[in-house]
Amino acid sequence: MELFANLALGFQTAVSPMNLLYCLVGALIGTLIGVLPGIGPVQTIAILMPTTFSLPPVSALIMLSGIYYGAQYGGSTTSILVNVPGEASSVVTCLDGYQMALQGRAGAALTISALGSFVAGCFATVVLAVLAVPLSELAFKFGPAEYFSLMVFGLIGSIVLASGSMIKAVGMIVLGLLLGMIGTDVTSGVQRFAFGIPELADGIGFVSLAMGLFGICDIINSLEKKQSRDILKGKLAGLWLSKADLKASAPAVLRGTLCGSLLGILPGGGAILSSFTAYMLEKKSSRNPESFGKGNIRGVAAPESANNAAAQTSFVPLLTLGIPPNVVLAMMAGAMMIHGIQPGPRVISSNPELFWGVIVAMWLGNAILVLLNLPLVGIWVRLLSVPFRRLYPAILLFCCIGLYSVNNNTFDIGLTAFCGLLGYIFHKLDCEPAPLILGFILGPMMEENLRRGMLLSRGDPSVFFTRPLSLGFLLAAAAMLVMLALPAIRRGREVAFKEK
């Protein structure tokens, strides 16, 4: 009964005209950036974050979350019709979705993508609502030792699941931890690593770092590429699914939903990992694996369900434990902190309208996306004919306006440009910036809990190993590293990321 009372509170919050408007805006922007190749939810959230500072926290989070799961919807449209993944998690949808389009079944592919995403999104939202209160109550039993060990586990998980070299992922996390130390020491009040620059007294701004590493860097990388898009010609028809299509795709939607719901919760997981895992599981469980890649509807249903489920269950560790499982949720954590809200178990008790309002808004957002996606397919595809070189000047202008509006300081613009150059160098060195952002967000919290734990234990480091929960997280982190050291698992990881 308590759950229904909480959901009723969420409906009261989410169905207000203002919050409904921002839910619609977030869903539309998310679909748009999912359609346009080269502009993902990370870059968009980084660019739009300054515009949310004047909004109420509930409206800001509803819009930002709508951008995240809306991008998963939009990415499938161009994957199916144009064979160009608008969003990274939609890469695998190209394999069978575009083949279905070439066979004249684009309508069926788009419909199963939308319906699978809707079912998965609704299920994942239920999972979030059910797990929220128990996990938050468990989190209240955490002390500094448990929180420190949990963050170590999260960072190790992001290293294991990061694409590319594990050594480079470790280096990026360490760099993120070091950047997070810049500013004023909370305990002593002494400035650290500020180099006498007054603007760094409060540390590097999260908005500047995120917008530089993802927004500005992505613009530079996109301008280097010469993109040729073979847009599918002809009228879109056949949106209704046949009984055979429903029979074949329903189990795939279910399996993709369960796979995405689980992997979305894990540290380092998310929509990208979930969509590839669901596709591989579907292919291995099929009696005709050779049909995948040739227009099998299950190859569209499973990954599209998985990436939407993962996009929404990834909010579970952020809102209940305060740990962002991937870089997009790290952005959301930064947005919450800017609004004066500390992610974690206290969100439910101190801001119940925000917590349950965001959950209910996810349900409404999924319904909005289904109603909007199919009718607007023609408009989304026409947008692909606009060259990126005509879009980036406006994007840069809005970036600079948003940055200056945060503190009315030109230093932030210069810092963002420097971070953009740094991100470009990382890209050329094949260093993924996502672990850096996770290290930057979790670093100050790790340091605070480490020092608090040592103070409470009077300098005895065994406190991290004698408390059961803390020891469990550390053992789980060690187990992941040991498993990754095994040659067979390491080769499997490399093969999986090569397929990506």
pLDDT (average), residues 430-439: 82
- Helix ranges (DSSP H) in 213-325: 217-224, 243-265, 271-285, 298-313, 315-321
Give which of 406, 413, 45 is closest to 215, Cα–Cα. Answer: 45
Predicted confidence band at 155 (pLDDT cuts at 50, 70, 90)?
A: confident
- 3-class secondary structure, 241: coil
Which pLDDT score, from 0 to 100, does residue 163 have? Answer: 61
Question: Are the beta carbons of 213 and 427 closer than 8 angstroms?
Answer: no
389 vs 385: CA distance, rounded Å? 12
Q: What is the pTM (predicted TM-score) of this model? A: 0.73
Report CA-CA distances (Å) from 339 to 30, 37, 342.
22, 30, 9
Tens of pLDDT, residue by residue over 32-75, are: 877 776 566 776 777 777 777 788 889 988 998 888 888 777 77
Structure tokens at 237: 């028809």
User: Band of the pLDDT at 175, cuts 50, 70, 90?
Assistant: very high
Residue 158 · residue 438 · CB < 8 Å: yes
pLDDT at 490: 57
Predicted pLDDT at 500: 47
C-alpha to C-alpha distances, 340 to 332, 343, 478, 483, nearest whole angstrom = 13, 10, 34, 39
Q: Which residues contact 488 (CB under 8 A, 6 or more apart)?
A: none
Query: Looking at residue 205, what is its pLDDT?
Result: 81
> Which three-class secondary structure state does DSSP give residue 191?
strand
Helices (H) and strands (E) in the chain, counts: 24, 2
CA 109 from centre of chain: 24
Res 438 pLDDT > 70: yes
For 217-256, what is each residue's pLDDT tens digit? 877 877 776 655 555 555 555 567 778 888 888 899 999 9
Q: What is the pLDDT of residues 8-26, one digit of tens each?
A: 888 889 889 999 999 999 8
pLDDT tens figures, 78-129: 778 777 665 666 777 888 888 888 888 888 888 888 888 888 888 988 888 8
Alpha carbon distance 113, 300 (integer Å): 6
Q: Which of 209, 271, 214, 134 is nearest to 443 (CA)?
A: 209
DSSP conformational letter for 83 = S
468 closest CA partner among 23, 143, 220 = 143
- Distance spanning both ends of the chain, measured CA to CA: 44
Element (H, E) at 452: helix 434-456
pLDDT at 499 over 60: no
